[in-house]
Amino acid sequence: MLIGIMEAVEHHIKKQLGLGVLIGSFALLIVLALSAFLILRYRRWSYKKVRYEVNEGLVEDVSLRAFTYSQLEVATNGFVEQLGRGSFGTVYKGALSNGQRKIAVKRIDKMAAEGDLEFRNEMRSIGRTHHRNLVQLLGYCHDGPNRLLVYEYMSNGTLSNYLFKSQIKPNWEERIKISLNIARGILYLHEECETQIIHCDLNPNNILIDEQGRAKIADFGLAKLLMPDHSKTVTGIRGTRGYVAPEWHKNLPITVKADVYSFGVVFLVIICCRRSFDSNAPEGEAVLVDWVYDCFKTNEISKLVPEEVDQQSLEMMIRIGLWCIEEDPAARPPIKKVVQMLEVLSLSSNSIFDMVSTAVEAFVRWVLTKRSRGRPSSKWICLHRTCSSKCSRYFAMYNFIYL
């Protein structure tokens, strides 16, 4: 009988243990499910909070419009019409306000590891840049994994298409104007905007032309942004082949002079109305910068342009371009100096002739005066009878180019 009782107790204990294990397992599953639900809900709440803070902060900081992904999907008709593709992503054509305002939507392919904070900083920096020679940022999309930028639409497309694919190519004066537009845009990025920006990928496909023929720089601020207390950055090679400064390949610090080099190549492309590399060109002319240098050395610069232009103006343009692509970054001019020189060249041919004649005469007198008495007086610097306050600046620029 005692054995029967012990067996009954043992059976009861096993039954209770089995029931306890079952209940415990069920309770554990409930706890795990509840925990997963709470974690998921917390993450969604955190994401919405971050997204709200990013969007509200950006709107408050730079007055940019925040778009949802679905809004831009509708605006671009499902991202159908592709305008181009660059190192930062693909650009699509779209329209807002029932098709009344055309836009360009850039879908960013690769985001930095910093994620939301990096995106917010970039948007703040780009949104605060306002210049007539920069493509205007209208808004952005920060929706889940999607990062898109909304820009003004440029009807004449890229500089590359404007130079090489349009039926009516820009004339000499228009090409000088385009070059000056680009230089002014770079000057703003380097010296005038709140946060100094090195473009790092300046090339004809990142320069757009509006309906008035004005050039505007695109894709600025999507590369490395420099804080006010930084002047150099060492990073992986960026940019487009043929336009990249030599220091990128030498693992040297990258400064604003890298953009000056890229501008120099773009500048020669514009002046000569020819691509930086043409595999179909005759022997010795395939690489544009090499061909320009050879023609300059042999005094055959007239071969570089497709039309007849003032040779004196052409020579000055070629000198500026070659100066910008010096091997040593320190030997390249600051972009402000380039802007000043191009402002001179943008004048009419008669004005240039008068100015150059004045500068030559002033330079001769300056040399003679320097040999005898040291630094020339102001009356030797400006000899034009209808003198203006710009004469001394023009002389200084001419003197710098021709020494």
**Known binding-site positions for ATP:** 106
Residue 51 CA: distances (Å) to CA of 46, 82, 126 = 8, 28, 19
The answer to whether residue 61 is catalytic is no
Six token digits for residue 297: 């050395």
Binding residues: 106
Six token digits for residue 237: 């090679």
* Distance, CA of 63 to CA of 139 (rounded, Å): 9
* Distance, CA of 337 to CA of 7 (rounded, Å): 103
Say if residues 69 and 146 touch (Cβ distance below 8 Å).
yes
User: CB 179: neighbour CB atoms within 10 A?
Assistant: 26
Report the residue count for the chain: 403
Query: HSE-up of 234 (CA within 13 Å, CB side)?
Result: 4
Say if residues 218 and 137 touch (Cβ distance below 8 Å).
no
Name, in order, each residue with C-beta under 8 angstroms of 262's C-beta and a sequence gap of 6 or more.
Answer: 199, 201, 202, 203, 239, 243, 244, 245
Candidate list 61, 109, 201, 310, residue with the active-site label? 201
Q: Which residue has the tokens 């052409």?
A: 314
Catalogue the E-assigned strands of 62-169. Answer: 65-67, 82-85, 89-96, 101-108, 137-143, 146-152
Say if residues 109 and 90 touch (Cβ distance below 8 Å).
yes
Name, in order, each residue with C-beta under 8 angstroms of 276's C-beta and a sequence gap of 6 or more.
Answer: 242, 243, 265, 268, 269, 287, 288, 289
Q: What is the DSSP letter of 255?
A: -
* Distance, CA of 312 to CA of 292 (rounded, Å): 16
Helices 349-373 and 311-324: angle between axes, nearest 10 degrees: 70
Instruction: Point out the residues that are catalytic.
Output: 201
